[in-house]
Chains A and B, each alone.
Chain A
Amino acid sequence: QVQLQESGPGLVKPSGTLSLTCAVSGGSIGNSHWWSWVRQSPGKGLEWIGEVHHSGRTNYNPSLKSRVTISVDESKNQFSLKLKSVTAADTAWYYCTRGDIVPIVFFNSYAMDVWGRGTTVIVSS
C-alpha cells in the first residue's frame, strides 16, 4: 500500500523559499501517476498547487505558477515543492498526493487516492 510522507521546515521567513519533500513508500514514483501538492490555509478550503509526472512533466496552478517549482527524484522515490517569495498568505497545511486519470467511455475521472498526513508551514519572521 502506497504511503506518502511530507517533510521540511515548519517555519519559513517572509520573502524566503518554502521547500518540502514527499517521500513515497510502498510503491514506485515511476508508475504513471500525477504527484501533487495541495495546501489548506487555516479555516479555508483545499488549494491545488501543482503536479509532476515521473517523466518530469509539470502543471501548476496559474495563480502560483510564477513562484512554484515541483520536481521528481526517481532515484530517491520522492518529489519536492519549492515556493519562493513567500508571505504570511502562504501559511498553510501542505499535503502531497497521488493522482490518477482514468478514461471512462466519453468521460474521464481524476482522483487523488493517496494523501500524506500533511505538514504545517508557518511564514513568519
Chain B
Amino acid sequence: SSELTQDPPVSVALGQTVRITCQGDSLRNYYATWYQQKPGQAPVVVISGKNDRPSGIPDRFSGSTSGDTASLTISGAQAEDEADYYCNSRDSTGNPSVVFGGGTKLTVL
C-alpha cells in the first residue's frame, strides 16, 4: 500500500510562517487532509479538499498540493498551534485503504 512521508519535528518563532509537507503517490489522486492533534485529544481536521477549512479553524491555516507533495502552511503561528500534525489520504491502487503520514511535531518558540 501507499505511504505518506512527513517532515521531522519543526519549530517556528511566534508570529512567523511555517510550512509542513507530506509526500506520497496517493496524493496524485487524493488531496491530503491535515489533522491537528494536541496532547490528550483526538485529532481534528484543519484542512481538507483543495484548501478548505472547517468552521472554527483560523484562516492562518492553508493547504496546497503540487504533484505528489501536499503542504500545510501556518501564516503567523500562534502558541496554540503547537501540536502534532498528520496528513492523510486514501490509496485507490489495488485494495482501497487509508494512509496517514508519520506526523510532524510543531513547536512554537
Question: What is the predominant secondary structure among interface residues of chain B facing chain A?
Answer: strand
User: Could you tell me if A48 and B100 are in contact, using CB atoms closer than 8 angstroms?
Assistant: yes
Question: What is the predominant secondary structure among interface residues of chain A facing chain B?
Answer: strand
Beyond A104-B49, A111-B45, A115-B42, is A51–B30 a contact (Cβ under 8 Å)? no
Using a Cβ–Cβ cut-off of 8 Å, how many residues does chain A contribute to the interface with B? Answer: 27
User: Which one, B1, B54, B86, B98, contacts A99 given CB within 8 A?
Assistant: B98
Asked if B61 CB lies within 8 Å of chain A CBs, one says no
Interface residues of A in 20-78 (CB under 8 A from B): 36, 38, 45-48, 51, 59-62
17 CB < 8 A contacts A-B? A45-B101, A45-B102, A46-B37, A59-B97, A61-B1, A61-B97, A95-B42, A104-B31, A108-B90, A109-B30, A110-B88, A110-B89, A111-B33, A111-B45, A111-B88, A113-B54, A115-B43
Interface residues of A (CB under 8 A from B): 36, 38, 45-48, 51, 59-62, 95, 99, 101-102, 104, 107-113, 115-118
